[in-house]
Structure 1
């Protein structure tokens, strides 16, 4: 449907589908080493031609450096880290789009999971769990990898890659068995999914959220998505913390690294703040440990972050 409520013409999805198919075919035709080289070239081009994104990344890195990050102490180090972040972003999409089938892993790579004792604790009561993650490593492969392990995955997305391709990228997830909703769908289907045993993966360092609470993040108070905390209370499920990283050989590893339960003895607002602060701490810890694979290209703290 268009914004005016008029039905889309039958061929409205043809061009996006052709574009995405071309990207997928190109990515799939390249061996892993060529994908890496192509991603590096695309990243260098975007770094040069996207001053807004480049500036946002460098400002964010300056804020992290101000908190004492040893690898970001000088401008040259932050410049190298920023270039690595752009490269990780392009490499991630080439890995994801170049797979042979919806449930396949990238060619020549493996997917490992650690910390599964936290996962099993979280879902032991028959309900699902909220999986709070940052944009680290290849987060798209996480959904595929966890689905292959037998988990029923659910996620919330905004526009990915480009508005023209958003519907087709969503269809890729759905073909892998991952249920997808948007902000416009509201909390109700998410609560139902969690109560039904699904694992809801949320990228909580992004800008796709409808409600926020202030939380400390690398030494500054910022609005942080309150959705994980609200859903944990409404659905009576825990929040799992986790992160993905890409190893030197191109393998993918996902780690469950924390678990927070809602506390119904606390007043609602107090518990929401507590849970949101826990999400922010987990994000900070994992981003600091793997900052060169952090793919956020908007300013988090503002231009005075340094």
Structure 2
């Protein structure tokens, strides 16, 4: 067992053994220490949040936002480590979603739905809530090293009731499997605010150039499944969410497939930005997002229509696989 794998295993076991107030204090102290150390992740978070809030927020205000952002990220990990000990009823009670009735109608009708998510709030709690409601759910997870950590995260999410597909190394391309699952009435949530493949769709995001995965839009265009965008955040009582949609999908007679996917991906980006701007402290993005920063090459964007292969998306911390997207 590698040290990283041991650390995650210890986290899952130790945190569940502690009373929640004691565990929360421990994680909050760790977040404050990370803030004081000013490591690469903290500095990246500060840069990303500056993009969100703009130049007018004083530096003292940004620093307070970064501190709260790290505490929110620590709260995410605290909740993740404690999720396996929660009952089905508790998982349903822990998370609240504005727009729940929209998904309930889709699931009842058996038509499936795609939900584009940000790295905000607690997306694992949202997925556990879906499964606890008895709705079939399938998603994609980035495959990172060490393999033992990846396998533990796969097992953790599968025990919560999610079907997990690896971004690569599986028997079939994840896009094909997700399209089949949508046809069978599954909910498919995909993290959609950052693309690592260099094949993503270029969008305008908080006034800058960024890439986002084509997967959510491409699935909606090709399958006809309704597409929603979620805002995720924390309030004092727990993780919360809100759905926007279903988004209008460009009709086939409005242009070629790649153009329609790009148009729809920009709509996703706009709605993601709205949710992040309302609760920037809960956006857990400790990695680069924008391609117009110094030293970042835009490269040659790939065709959205031809990018149905797997691509990974990181969660903002090394070694912690996140639900990703089939870009």
Equivalent in 34, 57, 68 of residue 46 of structure 1: 34
Q: 1:26 to 1:161 in 2, by over 3 A?
A: farther
Q: Report what 1:260 is aligned to.
A: 247
Matched residues, number: 287
Aligned partners of 1:159, 1:89: CA distance in 2, in Å? 21
Distance in 1 between the 2:89 and 2:43 partners?
33
Aligned position for 2:303:
none
Distance 1:246 1:160, change over 3 A: farther
Matched, 1:276 2:265: yes
Distance 1:196 1:136 in 2: 28
User: Runs of 5+ in structure 2 lacking a partner?
Assistant: 295-327
**C-alpha RMSD over aligned residues:** 2.8
Counterpart-to-counterpart distance in 1, 2:135 and 2:82: 23
Cα shift at 1:261: 4.0
| Closer/same/farther in 2, CA of residues 60 and 99 from structure 1, 3 Å limit | closer
Paired residue for 2:298? none
Q: CA 1:274–1:122 in 2, change beyond 3 Å: closer, same or farther?
A: farther
Cα 1:266/1:125, change in 2 over 3 Å: farther
Q: Please say if residues 158 and 208 of structure 1, whose CA atoms lie closer than 8 Å, have aligned partners that are also in contact.
A: no
TM-score, length of structure 2 as denominator length: 0.78
Structure 1 spans left out of the alignment, 5+ residues: 1-12
Matched, 1:233 2:221: yes
Partner of 1:74: 58
Cα gap change, 1:162/1:246 in structure 2, threshold over 3 Å: closer, same or farther? Answer: farther
Following superposition, the deviation at residue 17 of structure 1 comes to 6.8
Per the alignment, residue 306 of structure 2 pairs with none
Specify the SS of the correspondent of 2:287: coil
Which among 150, 174, 184 is matched to residue 196 of structure 1?
Answer: 184
What residue number does 2:124 align with? 140
Q: Distance in 2 between matches of 1:300 and 1:242?
A: 19
Match of 2:154 among 164, 170, 190: 170
Q: CA deviation at 1:120?
A: 4.1
